[in-house]
């Protein structure tokens, strides 16, 4: 038996940036704040359901001439092997031949410890030659501690080329043994939040342009 995850069985629609509707209300200050996060290893976009997190990021990426990958998470991705397969699949939409050693781990009988996966993955991410953005959307859905541990380990020694963006309805719940390091990353991250009280155009403009 192996971890049972194959690149070919990935649901590719989870790797697509959501389409944006025409006639969106512009949110220039929030986009500018995303821009300032470019130099950070993590941008955290945390706001309740329906506040426009995914839309904001999709619009931001559309205007950005940088390579980007998108992963819309769901319940199944709480499983570390599934999460890892999709994480690799997302990055490989930009770098199709990259991360092969980590990919090979998914063919093993079982996954090695998270620290081992993270070390290999960090080395492979460090080999990438271009900067890129990776958006993990709906991160609040992830309930498995191992996934948080993997991200914490990546953020502890962040790969220079990868600009990670996490969109979530609540702050990521972080494993206690890596909490300090991640908290540091989060503190230094550009933190984007939006608020709105109604869906009327005026109130959206008023509220959404507040930092």
Ligand X SMILES: Nc1ncnc2c1ncn2[C@@H]1O[C@H](COP(=O)(O)OP(=O)(O)OP(=O)(O)O)[C@@H](O)[C@H]1O
Say if residue 74 is exposed, middle or buried (CB neighbours under 10 Å; 0-12, 13-18, 19+). Answer: middle
From 111, 110, 90, select the one nearest 99 (Cα to Cα): 90
- Judged by CB under 6 A, how many residues of this single chain contact ligand X? 14
Using CA atoms, how far apart are residues 5 and 84, in angstroms rounded to an integer?
A: 9
> By CB under 6 A, which span of 52-60, 74-82, 84-92, 151-159 interacts with ligand X?
52-60
**In the stretch 163-182, what mask flags binding to ligand X with x, by CB under 6 A?**
------x-------------
Select from ligand X, Mg ion, none the partner in contact with residue 24, using the beta carbon and a kind-dependent cut-off of 5 to 8 Å.
ligand X
**In the stretch 37-66, what mask flags binding to Mg ion with x, by CB under 5 A?**
----------------xx------------
Using CA atoms, how far apart are residues 197 and 11, in angstroms rounded to an integer?
A: 35
Q: Which of 8, 12, 19, 21 is the binder for ligand X (CB under 6 A)?
A: 21
Select from Mg ion, ligand X, none the partner in contact with residue 168, using the beta carbon and a kind-dependent cut-off of 5 to 8 Å.
none
Q: Quick check: 168 binds Mg ion (CB under 5 A)?
A: no
Select from Mg ion, ligand X, none the partner in contact with residue 157, using the beta carbon and a kind-dependent cut-off of 5 to 8 Å.
none
Kindly calculate the radius of gyration of the chain based on its CA atoms and give it in whole angstroms.
17
Q: Quick check: 72 binds Mg ion (CB under 5 A)?
A: no
Residues binding ligand X (CB under 6 A): 21, 24-25, 27, 47, 49-55, 138, 169
Residues binding Mg ion (CB under 5 A): 53-54
């Amino acid at each position: 038996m192996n971890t049972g995850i194959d690149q070919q069985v990935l649901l590719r629609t989870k790797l697509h940036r959501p389409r944006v509707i025409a006639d969106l209300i512009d949110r220039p200050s929030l986009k500018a704040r995303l821009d300032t996060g470019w130099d950070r290893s993590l941008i955290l976009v945390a706001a309740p359901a329906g506040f426009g997190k995914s839309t904001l990021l999709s619009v931001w990426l559309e205007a950005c001439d940088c390579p980007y990958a998108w992963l819309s998470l769901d319940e199944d991705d709480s499983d570390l092997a599934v999460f890892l397969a999709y994480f690799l699949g997302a990055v490989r939409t930009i770098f199709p031949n990259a991360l092969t050693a980590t990919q090979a781990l998914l063919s093993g009988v079982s996954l090695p410890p998270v620290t081992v996966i993270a070390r290999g993955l960090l080395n492979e991410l460090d080999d990438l030659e271009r900067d890129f953005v990776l958006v993990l959307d709906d991160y609040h859905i992830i309930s498995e501690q191992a996934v948080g541990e993997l991200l914490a380990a990546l953020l502890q020694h962040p790969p220079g080329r990868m600009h990670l963006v996490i969109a979530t309805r609540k702050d990521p719940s972080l494993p206690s043994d890596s909490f300090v390091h991640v908290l540091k990353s989060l503190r230094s991250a550009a933190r984007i939040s939006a608020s709105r009280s109604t869906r009327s155009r005026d109130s959206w403009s008023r509220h959404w342009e507040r930092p």
